[in-house]
Amino acid sequence: MKQKKGQIGTLQNLVISLVVIGIVLGIGLLVLGEFKDQMDAGSEEANATNLTIYAIGKIPSWLSIIVILAIVGILLAIVFSVLPRAGAGGSI
């Protein structure tokens, strides 16, 4: 039973990490957007800022995939930690 609690703790740490990543990305994109509004439209700085916003803007689309893979990994770890005990004649 102790291993299951460890896996749930891992899930909690994962959720907190993903929330922090989402907040940091949101604030970062907001700040970059404000910088972009302050620059001349055709300048190199504005172009570099636009490219950065475009590149960073792709990251949040991967967060849902990361969440799904992490949850599947944790569930598989729980299942595989229970299977050896169940196969040895022990109760689940």
68-92 mean pLDDT: 73
Q: What is the pLDDT of residue 5?
A: 58
Q: Widest CA span of the chain, in angstroms?
A: 73
pLDDT surpassing 60 at residue 90: no
57-65 mean pLDDT: 83
Distance CA 89, CA 92 (A): 9
Q: What are the C-alpha distances in Å from 65 to residues 34, 48, 82, 92?
A: 29, 28, 26, 31
pLDDT digits 0-9 by tens, 32-49: 888 888 888 888 888 888
Query: Model's pTM, two decimal places?
Result: 0.60
